[in-house]
């Protein structure tokens, strides 16, 4: 199910961050490779995104199928 939210935090040097959803209380992990795959190499904290939550093999919830909203 597609969710809407914004990039809550992102550490470029470590290559990951978190996306905050407008409808879910928990944030979703996001890796730089998923942002690059979506063509969002220059995304900044606060930018609006749509995404789908998927369960990673390690059990964490992560954002995938990411798209920019309003660009």
Residue ranges of domains in the chain, CATH in brackets: 2-68 (2.40.50.140)
- Distance separating alpha carbons of residues 42 and 23, to the nearest angstrom: 25
Q: Are 59 and 40 in contact (CB under 8 A)?
A: no
Q: Is the pLDDT of residue 71 over 90?
A: no
Any idea which residue has 């964490």 for tokens?
60
pLDDT over threshold 90, residue 70? no
Q: Is the pLDDT of residue 31 over 80?
A: yes
The average pLDDT across 34-41 equals: 93
Residue ranges with strand state E in 1-71: 2-11, 16-21, 28-31, 48-55, 61-68
- Is this structure's pTM higher than 0.85? yes
């Amino acid at each position: 199910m597609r969710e809407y939210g914004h990039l809550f935090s992102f550490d470029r040097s470590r290559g990951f961050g978190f996306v905050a959803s407008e409808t879910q209380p928990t944030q979703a992990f996001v890796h730089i490779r998923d942002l690059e795959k979506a063509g969002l190499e220059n995304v900044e904290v606060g930018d609006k995104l749509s995404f789908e939550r998927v369960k990673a093999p390690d059990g964490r919830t992560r954002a995938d199928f990411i798209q920019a909203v309003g660009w």
